[in-house]
A and B are shown apart, each in its own frame.
Chain A
Amino acid sequence: MPDLEFKDMQGFIARGYGSLPAAAYLVLTVDEGSEARAWLKGLIPSVTPADLRPETQALHVAFTSHGLRALGLDETSLRSFSREFWEGMADDHRARHVLGDRGASAPGRWRWGGDTHTHALLLLFARDDDELGAFVNEVRAAYGGVRELAWLDTFAFDSPLEHFGFNDGIAQPFMEGLRRTGPPANTVAAGEFVLGYPNEYGRRPLTPLVESDLDPAGVLPSRVRADGSEPKRDGPSFHDLGKNGTYLVFRELSQDVPAFWRFVDEASRLDDGSSNPEERLRLAAKMVGRWPSGAPLTLCPDQDDPDQGSRDDFGYREHDRTGDRCPLGAHIRRTNPRDALEGSPEDALKVANRHRLLRRGRPYGAPISRTMDIEEILRHTGEHEEVGLHFISLGTDIARQFEFVQHTWINNAKFDGLYTDADPLMGHTGDRQGTFTLQGAPVRTRVTGMERFVETRGGGYFFLPGVRALRYLASLPAPPTGPSS
């Protein structure tokens, strides 16, 4: 395992900044290429590299393929990125058939990201809202050639909650080569999350390249062939635009919290038609696969146990093969099946680890109930500020990681031998035809008429470049026939 070049890597790959609870994301469009390149050049010293552990604030920058084109990157280089990135998240076929962004979630109805004008994403982190506000103003004051399309706020819960009321962000793979290490079963090769290093197949992931003629100053590292492997003596000459960068998937996911709890409340009523709070919580936990504290149902089948709240060191085969504890189709069992799927537990785990995501998202919007009091949520009527999750994941292969999880695991009604059970929180289409099966003895129970509680409001596929790649992008010559300069 080669040493990671932390200096050249944006720090967001190495850490999620738990100590910087205030965060905002700014979506930008490039109006004028040469001014935007000058702006980017000025921004680079503020971008936080991975060899620093920032105490007060952090800044990161990422671009869509449209954004790279607007900065002046040539089409041949653009096509050396992955097809998924080149096409973008809002591509019609992808949205409809891979990601399930249909109906209210269709890109045509997004707040941002559904068109070709979404070019760049700035991610800002600070210690509190005041410092964040000042930081945002400082960054805005420096804009040149770019214009802000959206300002995406976040909400910091006191503990790592998401808006349905469950502890979130527990299952996170450890990346090889970082100081923080974890159990081998949950440790994933660096090449899964950062370009330029061996991945879980022992190969370097495909990396975007520019012909060496287009980098005469040698800003980018060379020494790779077109296919990303080590060069032969007479191989073609390319410079590596991807090294120490990665792909960043951003999705603005709104959560209909009252609808979720009302649905669960209805589905868990007593025979006399009255609410059954205990059963209601149990059903919600069954859908998630964890109790509100985060305790996994596979370890705590009967009731919540806050002491087990951050347990991530468990599998499904040994105690829960049949799904009697954590249903086969529960959210956490499909977003990370651990050892549950085909083959031996070891093989299943190995395969599952080829579809892991580094999750870096944060919730947004103030909750209806600060204490996550379900009765209060159910009593709430009328309008309320939109709440949800700014989902962010990092990975070197969008198709094999993010899209695979979304399509093959979350949206797939046939997951693990099921029939009509998509993800109970976010996998259904809204036609109320779907089911949620709670395996059990002597026979299963089943919730019918499943709804969709999460809608996509915006998003994009971004490239989070290494520091040298940022310098290269800032120094691109104006395209000969372009409208700029």
Chain B
Amino acid sequence: MSKAPFQDGMTIVTRVIPGREASLLELLHGIGNDVEGSRLVPFPELTTLHFGRWVFFEADVDALGAPTPPTLILSTNFDAPRKDHIAELYDRAREGIDRIYEHCEGYPRPEGRTPARVRAWLEQHDAGYNTLYVGTRGRTVDRIRREARLREAIQGFLDEACRRPGFQELGPAAIRGEIQAFVQGDPDLAWAAEAPPRWRSRWPTRRDLPLALAATALVFVPLAGALLRGWRVGAVLLGGIIGILLLAVGLWALVLRRRERTDPEDPPTNDFDHVRSLVHNEDRFVQNQMSAVNRVKPGWLRLATLRVVLAAIDVLGRWVHTHGSLGSIPSIHFARWVIIDEGRRVVFFSNFDGSWENYLGDFIDKAAVGLTGVWSNTAGFPRSRWLVFDGATDEQRFKAYARRSQVVTPVWYSAYKWLSVQNVNNNSAIRAGLFGEQTPDETAAWLRRL
């Protein structure tokens, strides 16, 4: 059994040479308007890419009014390892990459531009992510597409079979047997007989290091004290650590609460023309995307809070919400937050199913606490209470904030744009239950997936 791959996120943040913005945007829109047919960046040839986008942020200011430079971000969700992804990207899309990044500061000049140097330059500009959520854990692009074809083939077979008199009377086990025979009889589907690689979490990953260190300190310092100096010392140490933590959290909460009462919030209305420019590209097919940027509120307290909240959601996404739905939101393929500009701004990129209205509704109805925990640290967010309360539940104000934060995404690509997250995960369950031992109940439940 091979080990399943790990889907990762890359966020290449580069500065655009002042004066080259218009030319860059024209180039990007040219690619984005025919994203599957672009010669410059032949997306469908990229075997490691799930979702990808280029987003351009105009020169702007942060929450204190200090300038932020014009910025280009390439955000991809890919099958690890990163070096293979970058190599494939530059190998297949060399002309596009060169032409795009010639608009950016520091890109290797033509005379000394070797693939190795470009790859190194891209890696160097990868800001990674603070939070990455994956709704389709552990599956490569290729596997997602193959499992979709497998399901379609089985459905076609069943459509035919159901017309046979008496087919439904065969019973679950016999019907499953017929499906197995059908799949085995099709050489194109033979791969499905092999058990799928199981996705196993690796603990701890490098991203979990701070958490692991904190846990270690909390458990092992008192334990070591107890072992070396007796249980009294251990208890004092444990009490001391907890006491200091409580004190710190209490102080933090008091200061935060004071600021919350006076932090200004933006109005619940929007500029129609801005929203129309966003809406224009939405609802073209089942999936949609969001690219947003927000200004982190001034002061180290907000930035530190934001970092902790994002790290917490990242951990939850990797260890708790691993089965395709975040809380009870079943429609997010990939989403990420990345703090950029030395902590002055935070970007949000998301790939989801269904309409923006549905997505934001889910945010408010099902995930208001988490989103308020993140975005209440940014300027203009609806008034929050104790970091996570209120905020996003102010429906119209939150929707207006979200629209205001959004920018047009000139290039956006999905490797399987006809599939919802629920489809991808159901397809994998169909494949997983196709062969092997099953109890009658399991067979009945498996047939329901079809």
Is the pair A412, B354 in contact by a Cβ cutoff of 8 Å? yes
Is the pair A93, B280 in contact by a Cβ cutoff of 8 Å? yes
Apart from A201-B393, A442-B171: 14 A-B pairs, beta carbons within 8 A = A83-B270, A83-B275, A83-B276, A87-B272, A93-B280, A201-B364, A206-B269, A271-B165, A351-B366, A400-B357, A403-B357, A417-B426, A441-B444, A442-B172
Write the chain B residue with the least CB distance to A417. B422
B159 an interface residue at 8 Å Cβ cutoff?
yes
B297 an interface residue at 8 Å Cβ cutoff?
no
A474 an interface residue at 8 Å Cβ cutoff?
no
Write the chain B residue with the least CB distance to A206. B396
Name the residue among A205, A403, A441 with the largest chain B CB count within 10 angstroms: A441
B224 an interface residue at 8 Å Cβ cutoff?
no
Which residues does chain A contribute within 8 Å of B426, judged by CB atoms? Answer: 417
Q: Which of A227, A408, A414, A446 meets B357, CB within 8 Å? A: A408
Which residues does chain A contribute within 8 Å of B423, judged by CB atoms? Answer: 414, 417, 419
The B131-178 residues at the A interface (CB cut-off 8 A) are: 155, 158-159, 162, 165, 168, 170-172, 175
Is the pair B448, A439 in contact by a Cβ cutoff of 8 Å? yes
CB distance from B136 to the nearest CB of A (A): 14
The B316-343 residues at the A interface (CB cut-off 8 A) are: 325, 328-330
B39-47, B102-110, B250-258, B282-290: which lies at the interface: B282-290
The A200-223 residues at the B interface (CB cut-off 8 A) are: 201, 203, 205-206
Q: Which of B282, B328, B397 meets A342, CB within 8 Å? A: B328
Write the chain A residue with the least CB distance to B396. A206
Q: 10 tightest A-B contacts by CB?
A: A97-B283, A342-B328, A343-B328, A414-B420, A417-B422, A442-B172, A201-B395, A408-B358, A443-B447, A351-B365
B267 an interface residue at 8 Å Cβ cutoff?
yes
CB distance from A287 to the nearest CB of B (A): 17
Interface string of A434-455 (1 = CB under 8 A from B): 0000011111111010000000
Which residues does chain A contribute within 8 Å of B270, judged by CB atoms? Answer: 83
Bound-state Cα–Cα, A201 to B184, Å: 53
B394 an interface residue at 8 Å Cβ cutoff?
yes
A228 an interface residue at 8 Å Cβ cutoff?
yes
CB distance from B180 to the nearest CB of A (A): 14
Is the pair A227, B358 in contact by a Cβ cutoff of 8 Å? no
Bound-state Cα–Cα, A201 to B353, Å: 24
Bound-state Cα–Cα, A461 to B296, Å: 39
Write the chain A residue with the least CB distance to B364. A201
Write the chain A residue with the least CB distance to B446. A443
Write the chain A residue with the least CB distance to B270. A83
Which residues does chain B contribute within 8 Å of A448, judged by CB atoms? Answer: 159
Is the pair A399, B155 in contact by a Cβ cutoff of 8 Å? no
Is the pair A413, B286 in contact by a Cβ cutoff of 8 Å? yes
Name the residue among A439, A440, A445 with the largest chain B CB count within 10 angstroms: A445
B81 an interface residue at 8 Å Cβ cutoff?
no
Bound-state Cα–Cα, A167 to B329, Å: 34
Summed over the interface, the residue pairs from A and B with CB atoms below 8 Å come to a total of: 114
Residues of A in contact (CB 8 Å), total: 43
B279 an interface residue at 8 Å Cβ cutoff?
yes
CB distance from A346 to the nearest CB of B (A): 12
Which residues does chain B contribute within 8 Å of A442, judged by CB atoms? Answer: 168, 170-172, 175, 444, 447
Is the pair A79, B448 in contact by a Cβ cutoff of 8 Å? no
B268 an interface residue at 8 Å Cβ cutoff?
yes
Sample 21 A-B pairs with CB under 8 A, ordered by A number: A79-B272, A87-B276, A93-B283, A226-B269, A322-B448, A342-B328, A342-B329, A342-B330, A342-B366, A350-B365, A407-B357, A408-B355, A408-B358, A413-B286, A417-B420, A417-B423, A439-B448, A440-B168, A443-B450, A444-B158, A444-B450
A472 an interface residue at 8 Å Cβ cutoff?
no
Which residues does chain A contribute within 8 Å of B171, judged by CB atoms? Answer: 442
Write the chain B residue with the least CB distance to A96. B283
CB distance from A83 to the nearest CB of B (A): 5
B5 an interface residue at 8 Å Cβ cutoff?
no
Is the pair B286, A446 in contact by a Cβ cutoff of 8 Å? no
Is the pair B284, A97 in contact by a Cβ cutoff of 8 Å? yes
Q: Which of A419, A441, A446 meets B162, CB within 8 Å? A: A446
A404 an interface residue at 8 Å Cβ cutoff?
yes
Knowing A97-B283, A271-B165, say if A227 contacts B355 (CB, 8 Å). Answer: no
The B208-223 residues at the A interface (CB cut-off 8 A) are: none
A347 an interface residue at 8 Å Cβ cutoff?
yes
CB distance from A218 to the nearest CB of B (A): 24
Q: Which of A83, A205, A414, A446 meets B155, CB within 8 Å? A: A446
Residues of B in contact (CB 8 Å), total: 49
Which residues does chain B contribute within 8 Å of A203, judged by CB atoms? Answer: 394-396
A276 an interface residue at 8 Å Cβ cutoff?
no
Write the chain B residue with the least CB distance to A403. B357
Is the pair B283, A407 in contact by a Cβ cutoff of 8 Å? yes
Write the chain A residue with the least CB distance to B178. A443
Write the chain B residue with the least CB distance to A97. B283
A310 an interface residue at 8 Å Cβ cutoff?
no
Bound-state Cα–Cα, A446 to B159, Å: 7
A275 an interface residue at 8 Å Cβ cutoff?
no
Bound-state Cα–Cα, A87 to B273, Å: 11
Knowing A97-B284, A98-B283, A441-B444, say if A407 contacts B355 (CB, 8 Å). Answer: yes
CB distance from B66 to the nearest CB of A (A): 29
A80 an interface residue at 8 Å Cβ cutoff?
yes
A86 an interface residue at 8 Å Cβ cutoff?
yes
CB distance from A39 to the nearest CB of B (A): 30
Is the pair A227, B267 in contact by a Cβ cutoff of 8 Å? yes
B361 an interface residue at 8 Å Cβ cutoff?
yes
Is the pair B175, A443 in contact by a Cβ cutoff of 8 Å? yes
Which residues does chain A contribute within 8 Å of B158, judged by CB atoms? Answer: 443-444, 446
Bound-state Cα–Cα, A177 to B333, Å: 42
Q: Which of B272, B283, B286, B366 meets A343, CB within 8 Å? A: B366
A102 an interface residue at 8 Å Cβ cutoff?
no
Bound-state Cα–Cα, A131 to B450, Å: 56
Write the chain B residue with the least CB distance to A229. B268
CB distance from B353 to the nearest CB of A (A): 6
Which residues does chain B contribute within 8 Å of A417, judged by CB atoms? Answer: 330, 420, 422-423, 426
Bound-state Cα–Cα, A226 to B267, Å: 8
A354 an interface residue at 8 Å Cβ cutoff?
yes
Which residues does chain B contribute within 8 Å of A205, judged by CB atoms? Answer: 396
Is the pair B450, A347 in contact by a Cβ cutoff of 8 Å? no
Is the pair B355, A404 in contact by a Cβ cutoff of 8 Å? yes
Which residues does chain A contribute within 8 Å of B283, judged by CB atoms? Answer: 93, 97-98, 407
Bound-state Cα–Cα, A400 to B170, Å: 46
Name the residue among B155, B270, B394 with the largest chain A CB count within 10 angstroms: B155
Is the pair B397, A227 in contact by a Cβ cutoff of 8 Å? yes
